[in-house]
Amino acid sequence: SVSYGLATVANNISLKADDEIVVLEAQFPSHVYVWQKLATKYKAKIVTVRAPDLKAHRGQEWNKRILNSITAKTAVVAVPHVHWADGTLFDLEAIRKKATENEALLIIDGTQSVGALPFSVEKIQPDALVCAGYKWLMGAYGLGVAYYSEKFNEGKPIEENWINRFNSQ
């Protein structure tokens, strides 16, 4: 379900050749493949932020690396709130600030944290937040939840289901 929500996001992003999409090393595949496809379509570049080999202060160092990877060429920062494999917590407020300074979209996979950790859409202001419902949101497997900012209000769906349309009934 996260891949579905992210595909909707990617379907509504246009890039320029040489734009950059920031992702993390060993990020969950659903939050990588969609960006690889988008990068290929526009001849953009994937920037993979490597995890530090440290045990102590690993999160601090990885967060620094993410912030250093966001530049004027960055169009999309696609990160989780918490890394799915090792539990690293990412500083979304600092990432949002740096993304905004560089006019980049912030796309968050909240599957590993939303419902278990505090998360404020108002505070973080993600351009999109997508979560699988079966973990901390206590939903059924295959159920997903997404928040899309106003930047996606006039977006194109990835399918033409009648229920996707306002006042379709």
Quick: pLDDT tens for 24-73. Answer: 999 999 899 999 999 999 999 999 999 999 778 889 999 999 999 999 99
For the entire predicted model, the pTM comes to 0.93
Q: 24-38 pLDDT, tens per residue? A: 999 999 899 999 999
The mean pLDDT value for 5-14 works out to 96
One DSSP character per residue, 52-121 reads PS-STTHHHHHHHHHHHH--TTEEEEEEESB-TTT-PBP-HHHHHHHHHHTT-EEEEE-TTTBTTB---H
